[in-house]
Structure 1
Amino acid sequence: MTDTQLLKMPVQAADDKKAHEIVVLDMQGISLVADYFLICHGNSEKQVQAIATAIKDKANEQGIGIQRMEGYEHARWVLVDLGGVVCHIFHHEERHHYQLEKLWGDATYVNIDEFLTPSSAASSYISR
């Protein structure tokens, strides 16, 4: 599976569940944890869980093993580890508290517009 295919699946799964401010950071050469971080948020615990479940289900459909999933029960910060891509699905409040995009400020943003629905692509950028 190519990097593009590995990124497209969780981005589209999150987008399908109306995740907010979806971004992907290129972590290659910056972190040993993963090549990419997907970061997004939901406005409720139910939405956070729905996004995480959608990513997990799409990964299973495509034969991608989930390395681990953490935080699902409390749905404030759910981590879905797909190996090369680690998905961080936050509740709105936690995302703005932890500010992972600023923590990993050396990482470049991956253009994911082609993976998003047109209305999502227009609102996917956050202040950087």
Structure 2
Amino acid sequence: MKLTSEELLEVVVKAADDKLAQDIMALDVRGLTSIGDYFVVMNGRNEKQVAAIVEAIVENVHKNKGEIKNVEGKDSGKWTLIDLNDVIVHVFNHEERGYYNIEKLWSDAPMVDISGMVTEQ
């Protein structure tokens, strides 16, 4: 059975949180674009952590029978895009996230409350 976009979002957020991703933000882009339902943006402290976050997300999506359409930028350690069809994930290193400021580009998109998906820090 295919995961709903909400279930997929939760798998992504929990996997990222387990690897201590920073400033995880989910945007509901339904109605704003046809490329997906949610954009998830986060960052790691360094290239090694970015790689660990990406690996955890990919592994957990596979484990939950989700489909990974494409992974781009994995070797750079600066910005990796994971296309899960309904959920588009952006994993940045800290500097790149500030430079590209994806959240500002999609400021019309409502933020999704992910507080129930992450551990208190």
Identity rate, percent = 42
The letter of the residue matching 1:51 is I
Query: Which residue, out of 2, 14, 17, partners 1:12?
Result: 14
Deviation at 1:3, TM superposition (A): 3.3
Deviation, 1:23, is 0.4
Q: Which runs of 5+ in 2 are unaligned?
A: none
Tell me the matched-pair count. 119
**C-alpha contact (below 8 Å) 2:5/2:87 kept by paired residues:** no
Letter paired with 2:29: M
The aligned residue for residue 34 of structure 1 is 36
Aligned to 1:62: 64
Q: 2:87: which partner in 1?
A: 85
Distance 1:3 1:47 in 2: 25
Q: How far did residue 94 of structure 1 move?
A: 0.4
CA RMSD of aligned residues (A): 0.8
> Is this contact kept in 1: 2:5–2:37, CA < 8 A?
no
Shift, 1:71, TM fit: 0.4
TM-score relative to the length of structure 1: 0.90
Q: Distance in 2 between matches of 1:16 and 1:40?
A: 13
Query: Structure 2 counterpart of 1:113, which letter?
Result: S
Q: Would you identify which runs of 4 or more consecutive aligned residues in structure 1 move more than 3 Å? A: none
Aligned counterparts of 1:38 and 1:76: Cα–Cα separation in 2: 16
How far 1:2 sits from its partner (Å)?
A: 3.0
The equivalent of 1:111 in structure 2 is 113
